[in-house]
Amino acid sequence: MDPQNQSLVTQADTIYQEHFPPSVRFERAIFFSWGCTIGDCTFCYMSTQPADKPPRETRRSTESILAEFLLAKHLGWDIGFFTGGIGVLKPDELEVMLQAAVEITGDKLWLSVGPVSRLHLQRYLPYIKGVVGSTETINPQLHKKVCPSKPLAPYERMFEAARELGLQRAMTFIVGLGETREDLLLLKEFIHKYDISKIHVYGLIPQKGTIHEKDPVPSAEEQAWWIAQLRIAFPLLDIQCGIWEDRVERVSLLLQAGANSISKFKAIKLFGTAVAQEIENEAAKAGRTFVGTLTRLPDVDWNQEIERFSFASELKKRMKIKLEQYLGPMKKLQDNLSD
C-alpha cells in the first residue's frame, strides 16, 4: 500500500478505536425475492433474471425467509436489512413479514425496499428502526447511467420523511462503478444533508450477464480509501463493508480503515468453510473480536425455538423442514473443516 493510503488507514483506525469497541459482527441482508420490477440497474444480479418471469413470482417462501431470520439470530449475525426487489411485495404482505421477523429477532429491522412513502413508513413504524436507501452512487451522471430507472430524488424524499418520523437513515455506496475520488465531496454532503447514520460500502461484484461482467474488481486499497475517508469525516458513522468470497483477504484492511461490520459474504452457503474461517482470522489480525460465528453451529434446540412463536402450526412445520435444509449442509461443511 502506498504510504499516503497507509497513513490514512492508520488515522482512521485510531478514530475507530476512540469511538467503538474492538469487535466486529457479520451482518446478513435477508432477501424476500430474486426479481425486481425495476430490474435494469447495470450492476445488479436481479437485472439478469429472465424477463418472462414476473417479479412477483420470484418471492421466496415465507418459511424460508423466517427460518433464515432464526438462523441468523442464533449465529449472532445482525440483520443488515430486510430487502428484495422493488414492487414485489404489496404493503400488507410486507407488513405481515416484518411483524413475523421482529417476533423472531426481538429487534426492529432496517428496511430496504426502494423509496417508501411517508404513509407506508408510518405503517411499518412498529417494526422498523430505519430505512436504507440503495443509492449506490451519488455522482448524478454516473447514477443516471447505472440506475436508469431508479433516480435518487424519491430516496431523498424518503429520507426526509424518515427523519420526520424519527427513523434512522442508511445508504449504500458501491466502489468500482466508475466514481472518482472527487466524488467524495458529494458523498460527504449527502451524508450531512440527510443525517445518514449508517453506510454500506460495497465493492463492485462483476455479475455475469451484466455490462460490468468484465470490469475489474475494485482493489482492497480503493475500498479501504473510501471507508477511511468516511471514518475520518464522520467518526460516529456506522460503516459496513461488503465483501465476497474472492476478497476475504482484505477484511483486516477494511476493518483497520474503520469499518464496523462485514456483509455480503455468502455466509450460509459457505458456512464452516476455510474461506469463512479466514474472515474470522482476518478480524483477529485487525485486533477485533469476531462476535457471532461463521464457522461453528451453536447448540440450539431449533424445533423448540420455532414452537415459541405465535405463527400458525402449518407455518411452523414448514419452517422446521426449511431449517433442516439449511442446517444439514452447514453441519457437513463445519465437520469437514474440523477434520
Distances (CA, A) of 64 to 31, 32, 33, 78, 122: 10, 9, 11, 18, 27
Q: Which of 47, 197, 207, 219 is close enough to bind ligand SF4 by CB under 6 A?
A: 47
Q: Which of 30, 36, 113, 177 is close enough to bind ligand SF4 by CB under 6 A?
A: 36
323 part of the interface to ligand SF4, by CB under 6 A:
no
- Burial (CB count <10 Å: 0-12, 13-18, 19+), residue 204: buried
Q: Cβ neighbours of residue 157 under 8 Å, at least 6 residues apart?
A: 115
- Burial (CB count <10 Å: 0-12, 13-18, 19+), residue 227: buried
262 forms beta bridges with: 26, 241
Of residues 90-149, those binding ligand SF4 (CB under 6 A): 134
Q: Min. distance of Cβ 34 from ligand SF4 in angstroms?
A: 9
Give residue for cell 430474486.
Answer: 34
* 108 versus 143: smaller Cβ distance to ligand SF4: 143
* 53 versus 308: smaller Cβ distance to ligand SF4: 53
Pick the stretch among 41-49, 68-76, 95-103, 123-131 that binds ligand SF4 (CB under 6 A). Answer: 41-49
44 part of the interface to ligand SF4, by CB under 6 A:
yes
39 part of the interface to ligand SF4, by CB under 6 A:
yes
- How many chain residues bind ligand SF4 (CB under 6 A)? 11
242 forms beta bridges with: 263
d(CA 116, CA 301): 38
169 forms beta bridges with: 131
Q: Which of 1, 38, 142, 186 is close enough to bind ligand SF4 by CB under 6 A?
A: 38
Q: Min. distance of Cβ 170 from ligand SF4 in angstroms?
A: 15
Pick the stretch among 43-51, 255-263, 280-288, 320-328 that binds ligand SF4 (CB under 6 A). Answer: 43-51
| CB-CB contact of 173 with 199 (8 Å) | yes
* 30 versus 276: smaller Cβ distance to ligand SF4: 30
Of residues 71-100, those binding ligand SF4 (CB under 6 A): 85-86
Cell representation of residue 304:
423448540
Of residues 185-214, those binding ligand SF4 (CB under 6 A): none
* 93 versus 221: smaller Cβ distance to ligand SF4: 93
d(CA 34, CA 184): 31
Q: Min. distance of Cβ 52 from ligand SF4 in angstroms?
A: 17
Q: Min. distance of Cβ 328 from ligand SF4 in angstroms?
A: 30
Cell representation of residue 154:
424519491
Single-letter amino acid, residue 78: D
* 85 versus 258: smaller Cβ distance to ligand SF4: 85
| CB-CB contact of 124 with 111 (8 Å) | yes
Q: Min. distance of Cβ 336 from ligand SF4 in angstroms?
A: 34
Single-letter amino acid, residue 112: S
* 150 versus 322: smaller Cβ distance to ligand SF4: 150
- What is the contact mask toward ligand SF4 in residues 292 to 311, using x (rule: CB under 6 A)? --------------------
For the residues of 253-321, what is the DSSP string, one character each?
Answer: HHHHTT--EEE-S-TTTTTTSHHHHHHHHHHHHTT-EEES-SS------HHHHHHTS-S-HHHHHHHHH
Q: Min. distance of Cβ 231 from ligand SF4 in angstroms?
A: 26
d(CA 80, CA 84): 13
Q: Min. distance of Cβ 124 from ligand SF4 in angstroms?
A: 19
Which residues contact ligand SF4 (rule: CB under 6 A)?
Answer: 36, 38-39, 41, 44, 46-47, 85-86, 134, 150
